[in-house]
Structure 1
Amino acid sequence: MTLIKSLIVLGIVALCQADYTAKQEKTIDDIAEQCGMDMDLNLNDDFVEMFKSTGNVPDEDDTQAFITCFLNKIGAMDDDGNIVSDKFIDFESDGHDLEAVKEVVEKCANVEGDSINEKGYNFYRCFWDEKKYDI
């Protein structure tokens, strides 16, 4: 469990080093902290950075739940696990090419999964695998 928490924090930290706007950075950090508290996870800076910059996070239950929590809190996933494309595009396009963001989200918005958490994780993985612009 500690390894999972450490890896989650590494992912989030990686995202922090990315070229997000100051507003996005604050939102990501605040939501990561909220989700960590809600889920009783001890997130470290390394996980948070990895989450933000590389998308290279483990496919584990805690990670999937964390990603779903994050997507829910930015309004990008509804209670049924459906991706709310416009909300994710609004968040991600701040400081990035709107058309490039739309292209990736349109490819990834209808991912499947056996659970809501798996759908959230699969969207997150698809986003990182398909994005063609730098973060």
Structure 2
Amino acid sequence: MTAVPGYVPPVTRATFRRTAIIGAAVALVAVAVLVPLGYGLFALFGCVGIALGILNSAFAMGSVVRFSHGAAAPSKAKFSGGVLVRLAVITVVAFGCAFLVRPQGVAVFVGLAVFQLLATVSSILPLIKEIRQK
């Protein structure tokens, strides 16, 4: 079976889309709840964390597509380096927010954690559907 360059399986696209939409909805709810309570910066940095999670997920998906459709022998070192750079940038941004805007900047980590939880649950859903069909 020959792989199509740039091909992303439909279930992967659907999972990413579902996670991004739910993440955006959670961010909107956080803003709607926290801003009237006087915690606008917490809401802002939580949204930044969710956005960083969405960006990381999109870049990871693109990285996997490039790795799987690269040259005859894709470079594992280049792939690993890309992963490390991407995670390092996200970490620097998150720690920068946390240290520069205390204590509200810590909400970036909350946003990242919420997105990771959403991504995990969202990726499990197709699996549960498949198991229930059998």
- Structure with the bigger percentage of helix: 2
Larger radius of gyration, structure 1 or 2?
A: 2
Normalised to the residue count of structure 2, the TM-score between the two structures is 0.29
Normalised to the residue count of structure 1, the TM-score between the two structures is 0.28
